[in-house]
Amino acid sequence: VQLQASGGGLVQTGGSLRLSCAASGRTLSSDFMGWFRQAPGKEREFVGGISRGSGTPSYANSIKGRFTISRDNAKNTVYLQMNSLKPEDTAVYYCASFYSGIYNDPASYDYWGQGTLVTVSS
């Protein structure tokens, strides 16, 4: 199973980016898909996720109302649309998947993408 995250880059405060997480070797709709981020010197933080099957999203309070998670089953890809970006959103963003566990606990996740860097300038 491979997860390939992409879409990061440099954006100004208030701007938008859309991250993608494409999977091979596994059907994403069979797993809970999560997005995490890790800023320099900080622990990995749950951003949001989307449940298997119904695709119900869950979000961390810090990004609620600004970020949206969606899934395209035909493309086997999960997206993280990030709007109204702030400098504190600067981090490496990771996608990950698991079948059973605690959705906001990184230890529950079985597979991880390589990460994509998002930098928000002030």
For β-strands 9-12 and 116-121, DSSP reports them as parallel
DSSP annotation of 16 reads: -
Residue in 69, 116, 58 with CA at minimum distance from that of residue 89: 116
Structure tokens at 80: 């993280």
- 67 vs 56: CA distance, rounded Å: 14
- 2 vs 32: CA distance, rounded Å: 15
CA 105, 85, 24, 52 dihedral sign is positive
For β-strands 67-72 and 57-59, DSSP reports them as unpaired
Query: For 24-38, how does the pLDDT look when each residue is reduced to its tens digit (9 = 90+)?
Result: 998 888 999 999 999
- 77 vs 82: CA distance, rounded Å: 16
Query: For 73-101, how does the pLDDT look when each residue is reduced to its tens digit (9 = 90+)?
Result: 999 999 999 999 999 999 999 999 998 88
The answer on pLDDT for 53 being more than 90 is: no
